[in-house]
Amino acid sequence: MLGRAGGLLAEHLADALSKPDPEVLIVGAGPAGLTAATYLARFRRRVLVADGGAPRACWIPLSHNLPGFPHGITGDAILRRMTEQAMEFDAVIEPGRVESLKRDGDGFRATLNGREVRARAVLLATGVTDHHPDLPGVERAIERALVRICPICDGYEAIDKAVAVIGRDDRGVREAAFLRTYSERVTLIHVGPAEALTEEDELHRIGIELIRAPIDNVRLEGDRVTALSWGGAFRVFDLVYSALGTSPNADLARGLGARMSDDLCLAVDWHQTTSVPGLYAAGDVVRGLNQIAVAGAEAAIAATAIHNALRQADGRTVD
Ligand SMILES: Cc1cc2nc3c(=O)[nH]c(=O)nc-3n(C[C@H](O)[C@H](O)[C@H](O)COP(=O)(O)OP(=O)(O)OC[C@H]3O[C@@H](n4cnc5c(N)ncnc54)[C@H](O)[C@@H]3O)c2cc1C
pLDDT in tens, 222-252: 655 567 777 777 888 999 999 999 999 999 9
Q: What distance in angstroms lies between residue 283's CA and the mean position of ligand 1's atoms?
A: 8
- Tell me the best of 51, 150, 254 to mutate to test the pocket of ligand 1, counting ligand atoms within 8 Å of each CB and taking the most: 150
**Dihedral angle, C-alpha 17, 23, 28, 32, nearest 10 °:** -140
Q: Does an H or E element contain 227, and which?
A: strand 225-230
Q: Is the CB of 250 under 6 A from ligand 1?
A: no
241: left (phi over 0), alpha (psi -120 to 50) or beta: beta
Q: Is the CB of 290 under 6 A from ligand 1?
A: yes
For the segment(s) 3-129+246-313, the CATH number from 3.50.50.60, 3.40.50.620, 3.40.50.2300, 3.30.2350.10 is 3.50.50.60
pLDDT given at position 226: 67
Q: Is the CB of 249 under 6 A from ligand 1?
A: yes
Q: What distance in angstroms lies between residue 125's CA and the mean position of ligand 1's atoms?
A: 9
pLDDT given at position 225: 52
pLDDT given at position 38: 98
Domain with CATH 3.50.50.60 in the chain: 3-129+246-313, 132-243
Q: What distance in angstroms lies between residue 313's CA and the mean position of ligand 1's atoms?
A: 32
Burial 88-101 (b: 16+ CB within 10 A, else e): eeebbbbbbebeeb
pLDDT-flagged residues of the chain (< 70): 1-17, 222-226, 319
* Contact indicator for 123, 306 with CB cutoff of 8 Å: yes
pLDDT given at position 3: 38
CATH superfamily of 132-243: FAD/NAD(P)-binding domain (3.50.50.60)
Read off the DSSP letter of residue 218: E
pLDDT given at position 224: 53
Read off the DSSP letter of residue 139: H
Q: What distance in angstroms lies between residue 231's CA and the mean position of ligand 1's atoms?
A: 36
* Predicted confidence (pLDDT) per residue in 108-159, tens digit: 999 999 999 999 999 999 999 999 888 777 888 888 888 899 999 999 999 9
